[in-house]
Amino acid sequence: MPRSNRRRGGGKRDGEWEPLDIARIRAGSRRTETRRGVEWTVQPIRPERALKPYTCPGCGREVGVGVAHVAVWRADSIMGEDSALADRRHWHTPCWRTF
């Protein structure tokens, strides 16, 4: 018998509908992580959006064009969000996980 991909039970999760958060959709799965007592904003970069090479601060090797990786910047910068965003660094995802 073929498998059905439709959800059963009305299609609502947890009983309540939540409107889409446009800012979250535009930001992708941006999240805040704490490493070594510092809060960091972590933005995954998909391969099709990786248009320039960067040097990974974790290993010192190149994050090439077309390679999925993460952009990371301080979430608690005293200079403000714009300054922190300008200081962001691009890491290989495994390098960031082990930082």
Q: Give the domain extent around 92.
A: 33-98
pLDDT tens digit sequence for 2-61: 666 666 655 555 567 767 666 555 556 899 999 999 999 999 999 999 999 999 999 999
* Residue 17: inside a domain: no
* Residue 45: inside a domain: yes
State the pTM of this model: 0.70
Cα–Cα distance between 65 and 22 in angstroms, integer? 28
CA separation, residue 25 to residues 20, 21, 28, 30 (Å): 8, 6, 5, 9
Residue type, 5: N
* Residue 13: inside a domain: no
> What is the tally of structural domains in the chain?
1
